[in-house]
Amino acid sequence: MCILSQSNTLQINQSTGQYLRIEQSNLLSMPLSELNSFIREIENSELFVKYFRENKIVRYQRFDNSDTYISHLKFDESALVDNQPPEIDSLLENNQNTIEYIRKIGPDNFKKFFMVPEEGQSEDEIAFACGIPIAYVKDINNLVNDMAVLDEFHSTSSLNINDVNYTKVAAIDREGDGFRVSYYLNSLARGRYLINYEMLEEHIVRKCVNDDEIKKIRALLKKLEMINVCKQTLHIILINLIHKQWAFIDSGNFKDLLPLSQKELAFQLGINPATLSRAIKLRTIDIPCGREITLKSLFPNPRKFRMAVLKKVLQSENNLISDRVIQSKLSGKYGVNISRRTVANMRRELKIPAGGAR
């Protein structure tokens, strides 16, 4: 008899009920510092450690085109980064030997086995793969856990004014000919939970787990599923915003923004517009030019955008062009597909006469 029937997907079944949907909404709109604490609390719980971590029933799977933003440590002659918050300075000062071993294994292994572990390997296996004593595997894990508590320092926004508190989600970094999302919170960078439900079933049957414990496991699974959906929703929004606003992300010039409504993107992603709104509210990203922007700014008002582009087209044309030619230029150069009648109406709003009368 199947004790845990939840399928291994990121989608939450409707049968999980209204309560679960409300909780999911709360997670999406939760400040990232609180979400980070919520995830740490779950992963440090006795139940999670007992049933998932120790028995390798759950592991992480990083999202495509994502990474972790390692700003705490350098892999050169200096162990400390300038202008760090004092708490991080103190933490790193007190772990010099551990940091030396982090340098020894290199940034790739540090991310692979400690920051964003994907394989669920034991400490013995990690020690062998990295060529370091197992004692330092434990020390590095402890340091990473301590650093996670201070992650919020690096997700603090510079846009916080007038009691409006933004949170930085990630840096959008160049990678080859494209971009990647480098999350400031390691709990986001690790991606989703992959749960081996069959192994969990076998473990429960083998250990003769009582009904009360099974209820607790089910409750924990629901939390993990909610976190998975929350993380994936945020990530897929970021990836699609990068795709939609590629020219702007590349240049940092607001003139390169394309019209995009929240409703339009939500429809394309198959999510509720309210869900998208909660996911982007009061959240920011760093773009390659070094500027911090709000996620909401990537949704310029379509009408205002069209008016601005129309004005730009008319100002750049020395020849007198018809509304049909304007329509063609708007579509071909700017991806603005509107009717000739709409072009005429907008032109009249700008108090610009028709081509034959200019």
Mark whether 39 and 168 lie in a shared domain.
yes
Place of tokens 């699974």: 221
Q: Which domain holds residue 81?
A: 14-85+150-231
What angle, rounded to 10 degrees, do the helices at 262-269 and 273-280 form?
A: 110
Specify the pLDDT at position 24.
66
Question: Does one domain contain both 328 and 197?
Answer: no
Measured in whole angstroms, the distance separating CA 331 from the mean position of its chain's CA atoms is 32
Name the domain count of the chain.
2
- Give domain status of residue 268, yes or no: no
User: In this structure, is residue 280 part of a structural domain?
Assistant: no
Backbone CA torsion sign across 65, 184, 133, 126: negative
Tell whether 22 and 154 lie within a shared domain.
yes
Instruction: Give me the pLDDT at residue 7, please.
Output: 37
Q: What is the pLDDT of residue 288?
A: 94
* CA–CA distance, 93 with 101 (Å, rounded to integer): 14
322 shares a domain with 197: no
Domain C-terminal end among 231, 259, 280:
231
- In this structure, is residue 120 part of a structural domain? no
Q: Which residues contact 339 (CB under 8 A, 6 or more apart)?
A: 327
The CA R_g of the chain, rounded to the nearest whole Å, is: 25
Q: How far is CA 171 from the centre of its chain?
A: 9
Secondary element (H or E) of residue 193: strand 192-195
Interior angle at CA 342, CA 337 and CA 346, nearest 5: 110
pLDDT at 145: 73
φ, ψ of residue 171 to 5 degrees: the values are: -105, 135
Q: Is residue 188 part of a domain?
A: yes
**Rounded to whole angstroms, what are the CA distances from 308 to 329, 333, 334?**
14, 14, 11
For the entire predicted model, the pTM comes to 0.73
What pLDDT sits at residue 356?
A: 53
Residue 260 lies in a domain: no
**pLDDT of res. 17:** 44
Q: Which residues of the chain are under the pLDDT cut of 70?
A: 1-24, 70-89, 118-120, 148-155, 161, 317-320, 355-358
C-alpha to C-alpha distance for 285 and 238, rounded to whole angstroms:
9
Residues 6+ apart with CB under 8 A from 188: 32, 169, 170, 231, 234, 235
Look at residue 181 in the predicted model and tell me its pLDDT: 95
At 84 the pLDDT is 53
Q: Which of 179, 198, 231 is the last residue of a domain?
A: 231
pLDDT at 238: 97
